[in-house]
Amino acid sequence: MTKSFQVKLGQGGYGAVYKGELLNGCPVAIKMLKSTKGNGEDFINEVDSISKTSHVNVVALLGFCLEGRKKAIIYEFMPNGSLDRFISNTANKTSPSLTWENLYEIAIGTARGLEYLYRGCNTRILHFDIKPHNILLDEDFCPKISDFGLAKLYPRKESIVSISEIRGTMGYLAPEVWNRKIGRVSHKSDVYSFGMVLLDMVGERNTMNAEDYTTEIYFPDWVYDKLEQGSKLGQDGTNNMVENDIAKKMTIVGLWCIQTFPTQRPTISRVIEMLEGSLESLEMPPKPVISATCNTNSGGVDSDESSSQMLEIP
């Protein structure tokens, strides 16, 4: 399918992704997983569960390969790659730029995908790794949530999830995932990660001075002050009223999503309502709480300047 792995699409902590083609000519993305312990029951369980999902904003799983300790997952191919390609400092400058309308539709589509995982499936799914790298874009820039390697499935009748290890990526990790004193792990943990993605999309993380950026907790505080002072939002700012309103709406909603305590965050359904509603109807969120108990470096979690470190600590 990959013609001996000729075209590499990406690399992550899980392994590498290659472009491939089925016998009928359909292009696919093939994720080759690194060797893991055990005999593959968790892998089969994940593949079987994710294969039951079907939503326009969730990447389609087409199949898998399993031979001994060799594992591969086959997904539909997304020609525009990941959202990170368009919004990060390291983005390819030759890539087409996204308009504010594009970003707004991507935000709403991603939120709808998350709502489906929580409310639309027979079994609820917590993703635990929502970040720009895992939001793929098709030929029309329709967003699709991908990479369910850290996902946790649980019955619909339950709202609280029990996990035995920290899972997620530094910079997008909800505080309660690594500090249980803050609250219980639930779908609000994915809401937090989505809020950080919204602020990334507006471009605020890219505009912050590197020497001032120490933790993900300080970053929201900096964004809040900027919004409160009426400063221009976005990496380059905008004088267009419509675009400025979109940037301000996404920032306000993002700040609501990343409230330190899960009980203060909106549900993903409410997030969609806020994004689709008017800017005038949005209330200013409380300023994110900063305290020693919320320090990213507590609890043995190391910071990573690339904001892409994978955490799976027993």
- The domain that holds 32 is classified in CATH as 3.30.200.20
Domain co-membership, 66 together with 88 = no
Q: Which residues are annotated as a binding site for ATP?
A: 31
State pLDDT tens for residues 162-192: 666 777 788 899 998 888 888 888 899 999 9
Q: Which residues are annotated as a binding site?
A: 31
Give the residues across from 312 on adjacent strands: 167
State pLDDT tens for residues 126-175: 898 999 999 999 999 999 999 887 888 877 666 667 666 777 788 899 99
Domain co-membership, 154 together with 297 = yes
Lowest mean pLDDT among 12-21, 259-268, 303-312: 303-312
Domain co-membership, 174 together with 208 = yes
- Find, among 167, 180, 146, the residue nearest to 29 by Cα: 146
Q: How confident is the model at residue 207 (pLDDT cuts 50, 70, 90)?
A: low
CATH no. for residue 219? 1.10.510.10
- Find, among 86, 89, 84, the residue nearest to 98 by Cα: 86
Whether residue 2 lies inside any domain: the answer is no
Domain co-membership, 102 together with 187 = yes
Domain co-membership, 47 together with 123 = no
Q: Which residues are catalytic?
A: 129
- Given a contact cutoff of 8 angstroms between Cβ atoms, the answer to whether 204 and 197 are in contact is no
Domain co-membership, 43 together with 101 = no
Domain co-membership, 237 together with 129 = yes
Dist. CA 192–CA 271, nearest whole Å: 11
Give the residues across from 25 on adjacent strands: none
Domain co-membership, 99 together with 24 = no
**What per-residue confidence (pLDDT) applies to 302?**
35
Domain co-membership, 71 together with 150 = no
Domain span including residue 52 = 8-76
Domain co-membership, 127 together with 93 = yes
Domain co-membership, 64 together with 98 = no
What is the domain count for the chain?
2
